[in-house]
Structure 1
Amino acid sequence: MTVTKHRDAISLLEKVQSFPWYVEKYVEHKKSKKSSPSTLLGYLRDFEYFFRWMMAEGLTAATEMKDIPLEDLNDLKKESVESYLIYLQESHLYERNVFLTKPTKSAKKEYSDRTIARKISSLKSLFYYLSALAEDEDGESYLSRNVMAKIETNVEEITPLARAHSIRAKILIDEEIQRFVHFVYEGYLAFCDTKRKQLHHLQNRDRDTAIVALILSGGFRVSEIINLNLSDIVLEKNQLKMIRKGKKEDAPFFSDWGKAYLVQYLENRGKYKPAEGEEAVFLALSPTKPYGHRIELRTVQKFVKKYGKAFGMPDLSVHKLRHSFATQFLRLNPDPHQLQAQLGHSKIDTTMQYAHVLDDALSQAINRTTSYKE
């Protein structure tokens, strides 16, 4: 065994321990087929990316990758996996904070079609093993259904209209945007069936509403919001200073109505008892810490899911809030280049997916084209 293979074998033994037991079974199976340690490490990287995305999207209740049960893979819907494809095509900045243990070159640019196809191929291999090759002590397959069998590996076959259809059912449009923001602040109280839940909501509703309103009024990534410091806010210009993908400095805008919620939160930020010199804009309280501390990304993801479910949109997530802003922007301001700058996209093609979300405009254009008099 070469030095490189020996090193990869050791890394494989260490890394696989952070995965669910069924991934360890898969690795043992691939070893029996003479797969190299380097190849298996590549599989694990792809699995880790997908599992952490599942946790971020609320598709599993597990908070540690190792604890994701087989049932959550069995229950995955085709639409969810298609959303993962969309995510890969965008390649967000916050993947470096949530999904990757170390920043990689691929985290600084959008993934190529070939890379996306490889990531999906890795998942197809795992799901095929779990549904068709592996069996438990009763001789039953680990998975009763294989959602990955329904996914096209060639991502170029997923058209912008197909991606748009997947997005449309899970986002807020027009008056739904303001209705949801109001629901977070006021309407959710009706779902607090205990005094403890009521007090918790009243404690955090200014903060939660401000975060939701900022994303919906500026299209920011959740990592950009939680990493904000007080000195990054330029209220008089409705701007937020931030470092975006590729370590680019930027100062995107937010709306006046979003500003109103931000100001209201800032006026009440002291209730979190921040330590002297604490610069984080958005804070959280913890029983183990005497002072308010910077809110964690997982906390935001969880409360957006909570509010979305109560609102009647269980698929709503922080990323879908960003989708909502982008779609509404193009609905009212048909300039994708302006939206590209606001969202921090490196490619206009990524921005253009939102142009297809509202197919009512396309339908009207078709009707105008075909409703002529002979």
Structure 2
Amino acid sequence: MSIQKTNDRKHLDLKLPQMPWFVQQFIDYKRPDLSPSTLLEYIRDYESFFGWLRGEGLSVATDNTAITLLELETLHMDSIVGYRLHLTTRAVQTNTRVTVSRKLSALRSLFHYLSQIAEDENFYPLLKRNIMAKVEVKRAHKPKDTAAKLKGKILEDEELLEFVGYIYEGYGIDVAANKQAHYAHLLNRERDACIASLILNSGLRVSEVVNLNVDDLDVNNKLLYVTRKGNNDETFKTPVYFREQAKDDLSQYLVFRQSRYNTPKREKALFIALPNGQQEGKRMTKRAIQEMIMKYAKRFGKPFLTVHKLRHSFATDYYLQNDIYKTKEQLGHASTETTEIYAHLTDKTMSEAIERRAES
């Protein structure tokens, strides 16, 4: 199991007893189909909703465990409208449209289960009236809109190679006057360039990179075995290919992995960090990789570039040479609907290509 999943499962098991019995039943029903991370998000969304119900006097419960089915059953539509307003305008931290849609979708899933699937001892639905069935949850982002937001914020064409090259050499030149930054760069440049190269040549998610072990790597065949997002079979890893460029960068990093980071033999992680004051190297964290990419991106002149946009950069480049189904498989998308982003991102490139053909 991945490090993130292990942590999320622990948090889920801690939070679940603080929920009403019917939420606990719903989570158990969903366990075989959803990852601990997704279920933990559900619990957090229900915490928010139940806290709001009690705060508004729509429940007499003194804590979330005492929320009743009858209180959910007798909610009016204006109560749901009020909760949506609370999320968008009145909460301490205003939520984005994406977050609001996710929170309402989580409620719809719970109410659907209680009214359509779960039964009492007499085979009647646990919830006789489902107010959430009346709530339309609009899709927050269409592929075309997402593509529009990404334009100009990803790496294109030669920039993919240039960014990796910058991590190797250019950044060190830029920070040469800063002894501490220069030393850190000399220590980590092979590792950092390797991570960027791997994402730009395979399209892996940052969580998938973090969870990689040395045993997951088959350098000769340019192959990785990856625990994909949303895959609940913890014994199965998906084979994912990477390009030749990443093969060279991985080989170079592996030379230094053990000696430079004082990595103990028991540490299985592929990518290692040696925190200040520590004697032994350990698995890099997701946050460390995210901050590392942003550090280089800023100096490279692409301040909007993030580790996830490296994935988008690969996907756009890959889609230009392959169809939507191959791109979907390479990226590990659940459906081609998500992959449509890259069809829109490449519209300009394709229109330029047809003009070049017409001129020739």
Instruction: Give the alignment's TM-score, normalised by structure 1.
Output: 0.60
How many equivalent residue pairs?
259
Select the residue among 82, 86, 90 that pairs with 1:129.
90
Alignment-derived partner of residue 274 in structure 2: 285
Alignment-derived partner of residue 249 in structure 1: 237
State the shift of 1:340 in Å.
1.4
Alignment-derived partner of residue 224 in structure 2: 240
Q: Please, which runs of 5 or more residues in structure 2 have no aligned partner?
A: 1-16, 21-39, 65-81, 102-136
Residues in 2 aligned to 1:198 and 1:170: alpha-carbon distance in whole angstroms: 27
Range with bigger deviation, 335-344 or 211-220:
335-344
346 and 286 in structure 1: CA distance in 2 versus 1, 3 angstrom threshold: same
| Matched-pair contact (CA < 8 Å) for 2:201–2:246 | yes
State the shift of 1:284 in Å.
0.5
State the shift of 1:277 in Å.
3.1
Larger Rg computed on CA atoms: 2
Q: Which amino acid aligns with 2:171?
A: Y
State the shift of 1:149 in Å.
8.2
Q: Secondary structure of 1:228's match?
A: coil
Alignment-derived partner of residue 57 in structure 2: 34
Instruction: Give the alignment's TM-score, normalised by structure 2.
Output: 0.62
Select the residue among 178, 189, 192 that pairs with 1:205.
189
Q: What's the Cα RMSD here?
A: 3.6
Residues in 2 aligned to 1:28 and 1:158: alpha-carbon distance in whole angstroms: 28
State the shift of 1:30 in Å.
5.8
Q: Which amino acid aligns with 2:181?
A: K
Residues in 1 aligned to 2:349 and 2:181: alpha-carbon distance in whole angstroms: 43
Give CA-to-partner distance per residue, 1:131-151, whole Å, 9 cap, x none: xxxxxxxxxxx89xx785899
Q: Which amino acid aligns with 1:254?
A: F
State the shift of 1:224 in Å.
1.5
Matched ranges for 1:196-345 at <5 A = 196-245=180-229, 246=231, 247=233, 248-269=236-257, 270-331=259-320, 333-345=321-333
| Matched-pair contact (CA < 8 Å) for 1:124–1:149 | no
Range with bigger deviation, 259-268 or 162-171:
162-171
State the shift of 1:159 in Å.
3.6
| Matched-pair contact (CA < 8 Å) for 1:229–1:280 | yes
Amino-acid identity (%) = 34
State the shift of 1:271 in Å.
0.7
Alignment-derived partner of residue 174 in structure 1: 157
| Matched-pair contact (CA < 8 Å) for 2:52–2:83 | no
Q: Please, which runs of 5 or more residues in structure 1 have no aligned partner?
A: 1-5, 10-14, 42-120, 131-141
| Matched-pair contact (CA < 8 Å) for 2:84–2:100 | no
Residues in 2 aligned to 1:169 and 1:267: alpha-carbon distance in whole angstroms: 36
Select the residue among 306, 330, 335 that pairs with 1:347.
335
Give CA-to-partner distance per residue, 1:192-242, whole Å, 9 cap, x none: 241011001110111000000000000011122122221111111000112
Give CA-to-partner distance per residue, 1:326-352, whole Å, 9 cap, x none: 010011x13111111111122122122
Q: Secondary structure of 1:34's match?
A: coil
Q: Secondary structure of 2:227's match?
A: strand
